[in-house]
Structure 1
Amino acid sequence: MEEPLTDELLDELLSAPDPQTFANARNIGVRSMSDYLQQLLDEKSLVRAEVIRRAGLNETFGYQIFMGQRGASRNKVLQLAFAMKLTLKEADRLLQAAGVNELYCKNRRDAIIIFCLDRGYDLQKTDEELYRFGEDTIC
């Protein structure tokens, strides 16, 4: 599903009579992490069990995250992002849906993670890069 550009949405919001009208017209609400994970699975034709395995998560815990029964730490969300081969924008949206901080390029550890996401590194290679620079690994 193609999402509109932020600038386009901002123009619509500012020309709306009130914020509620805009939110209703655009069906804007709080997106749950489990909903966004399901959307990503569908869009990328991924299998949940395979994503959980590639993320290195406990199977039960991984399924609970996907079903919305458990929350996930920022590192667990990043594990899922790498397992799903998300873009930076998708990873930030997933982090936001999880209620944790998005990646921030002025933070050294986050900058390394952003670089690795952009280059398509897997989780193991990313952890190696973080370790090489003396930063806390994701796993």
Structure 2
Amino acid sequence: MKEKSTGDLSFELMSQPNLDAYLSQNEDCFTNQSAAEFLIVYFQRSGMTKAALARKAGMSEVYLHQVFSGRRNPSRDRLLCLCVCLELSLEETQQLLKEACHAPLYPRNRRDSIITYGVLHRQALAEINEKLFEENEKTLF
């Protein structure tokens, strides 16, 4: 079966008179992996310890453990801190933001453009925050 696009799903949802029918017909189109599961995969690939990641991302180890266990859902900015510290690609960052139900980085937004540039150029979190501060934009933490 051909995979449905987001546009196709949106059209079906708007035109479907019965939500239960839509849900059952499109069960295989819904994402099944949580943001925490994606994070764990990226974390394992990094070779870092959780303590090192927490320090690098400016968060407590307790909070990070809660995020990895799925008990806490990080804000968009906290998630971006983790993406930067795990050195995720822009595609991986956008995917993780989407899985966590956060807005993707948007190039028409000045702040998001600064963050995107940092992700693309593998800048350190402190470097991105410094540029955000210089440009009078809210820092990531």
AA of the residue aligned to 2:81: Q
Q: Distance in 2 between matches of 1:96 and 1:13?
A: 18
Q: Which of the numbers 27, 30, 33 marks the counterpart of 1:31? A: 33
- TM-score normalised over the length of structure 1: 0.78
User: Are the counterparts in 1 of residues 111 and 137 from structure 2 also a CA contact under 8 Å?
Assistant: yes
Per-residue deviation at 1:120? 0.8
2:81 alignment partner in structure 1 = 79
Q: Which of the numbers 43, 46, 50 marks the counterpart of 2:45? A: 43
User: Who wins on radius of gyration, i.e. which is larger?
Assistant: 2
SS of the residue 1:12 aligns to: coil
Tell me the C-alpha RMSD between the 2 structures.
Answer: 1.9
2:136 alignment partner in structure 1 = 134
1:7 alignment partner in structure 2 = none
User: Are the counterparts in 2 of residues 105 and 111 from structure 1 also a CA contact under 8 Å?
Assistant: yes
Please, which runs of 5 or more residues in structure 2 have no aligned partner?
5-24
Structure 1 segments (4+ residues) deviating >4 Å: none
- TM-score normalised over the length of structure 2: 0.77
For the pair 1:13 / 2:9, whether they are aligned, the reply is no
Report the count of equivalent residues. 121
- How many percent of aligned residue pairs carry the same amino acid? 28
Comparing 62-71 with 93-102, greater Cα deviation is found at: 93-102
Please, which runs of 5 or more residues in structure 1 have no aligned partner?
1-10
Q: Distance in 1 between matches of 2:111 and 2:130?
A: 12
User: Are the counterparts in 2 of residues 52 and 58 from structure 1 also a CA contact under 8 Å?
Assistant: yes
1:68 alignment partner in structure 2 = 70
Per-residue deviation at 1:19? 4.6
User: Are the counterparts in 2 of residues 52 and 83 from structure 1 also a CA contact under 8 Å?
Assistant: no
Q: How does 1:86-125 map to 2 (within 5 A)?
A: 86-125=88-127
